[in-house]
Amino acid sequence: MAKNSKIEWTHHTFNPWWGCVKLSPACKHCYAETWARRVGQQVWGIRAPRRFFSDDHWNAPKIWEKEAQTEGLRRRVFCASMADVFEDRRELDVWRERLWALIAQTPHLDWLLLTKRPEKIAGLTPWGKSWPENVWLGTTAETQKWANDRIPALVKNPAKVLFLSCEPLLGPLDLNPWIETKINWVIAGGESGGKSRPTDPQWVRQLRDQCVNHKVPFHFKQWGNWAPINEAAERKRIKMLASGETLVRVNKKDAGRSLDGRTWDGSPIA
Ligand code: SF4
């Protein structure tokens, strides 16, 4: 849990627990697992326990709620950066119930629930066809296969905002079956870390163009550690992609988040 999250598209992050099981190519270099191990928490995998938290941790969003109410603002809470809220394990049910209650107690916070398990959402939420106004629901689409599998499951749920996290973007995506009528926001980004895989800038441009064409807000979060050669500050390692694009390996900060000379900070609510 953290206040003032470093994630560009949210204000806070909240984790109802730590721990998960890897599921798809986007999970390969899961930073949350790496971070958990670094701080001595063995909470990844089917047999590993999960890490749970005290009342102090659970009270933090109530403080954020009071601040948002006082300031007359809405604040976004990303849930969860160290877990998947819809991991289907019975010992998590009681913590999920606590999360749903917390969401109800914090109407000035917009809760961004991002999952790689959208097929589990309907069975693990209490809201049926009447979702609270302060829940935004997203799924990860890193390749077309995972977009095809996950987006139809996502869009069955009547959340106020439905969003896609295309990060790390690992292939070209055609969102046309869903983008015009069902998706309210698209976030994209490359991968960072020692073994990061390159994201072809053409895949990012295709996503951006689909969003622009359908007037869907587009947020480009980062290149990660592989940036287009003309966007990067320092040349170290170069990779030629099949598309003809050339990327340079740099640190994440130097790679930045500019696409074709500008940043993309689209958001469903101005
Ligand atoms: S679903 Fe998310 S938290 Fe779980 S292993 Fe995959 S990337 Fe990590």
Averaged pLDDT, 98-127: 98
CA atoms within 13 A on the CB side of 46: 1
Question: What is the pLDDT, as a whole number, of residue 194?
Answer: 87
* Residue 24 pLDDT grade (very low, low, confident, very high; cuts 50, 70, 90): very high
Please write the tens of the pLDDT for every residue from 132-189.
999 999 999 999 999 999 999 999 999 999 999 999 999 999 999 999 889 999 999 9
Judge whether residue 270 has pLDDT over 90. no
User: Which of 13, 17, 21, 23 is the best mutation target for the ligand 1 pocket, counting ligand atoms within 8 Å of the beta carbon and taking the most?
Assistant: 23
**C-alpha to C-alpha distance for 188 and 8, rounded to whole angstroms:** 12
* 69: its two tokens: 């109410």
Ligand 1 centroid vs 198 CA: distance in angstroms? 19
User: Which of 17, 20, 28, 85 is the best mutation target for the ligand 1 pocket, counting ligand atoms within 8 Å of the beta carbon and taking the most?
Assistant: 20
Report the predicted TM-score, pTM, of the whole model to 2 decimal places.
Answer: 0.92
CA nearest ligand 1 atom 6, residue: 27
Which comes out higher in pLDDT, residue 14 or 245?
14
The count of residues in the chain is 270
Please write the tens of the pLDDT for every residue from 214-253.
999 999 999 999 999 866 555 568 888 999 898 989 888 8
**C-alpha to C-alpha distance for 184 and 243, rounded to whole angstroms:** 29
Using CB distances shorter than 6 Å, the residues near ligand 1 are 20, 22-23, 26-27, 30, 32-33, 83-84, 116
Question: What is the pLDDT, as a whole number, of residue 234?
Answer: 55
| Cα 64 to the center of its chain, rounded Å | 20
High-pLDDT (> 90) share of the chain, %: 84
Max CA distance (Å), the chain: 53
Averaged pLDDT, 25-48: 97
* Residue 41 pLDDT grade (very low, low, confident, very high; cuts 50, 70, 90): very high
Query: Which stretch of DSSP H or E encloses residue 55?
Result: helix 55-71
Question: What is the pLDDT, as a whole number, of residue 5?
Answer: 57
Judge whether residue 3 has pLDDT over 60. no
High-pLDDT (> 70) share of the chain, %: 94
State which ligand 1 atom lies nearest to the alpha carbon of 33. Answer: 8
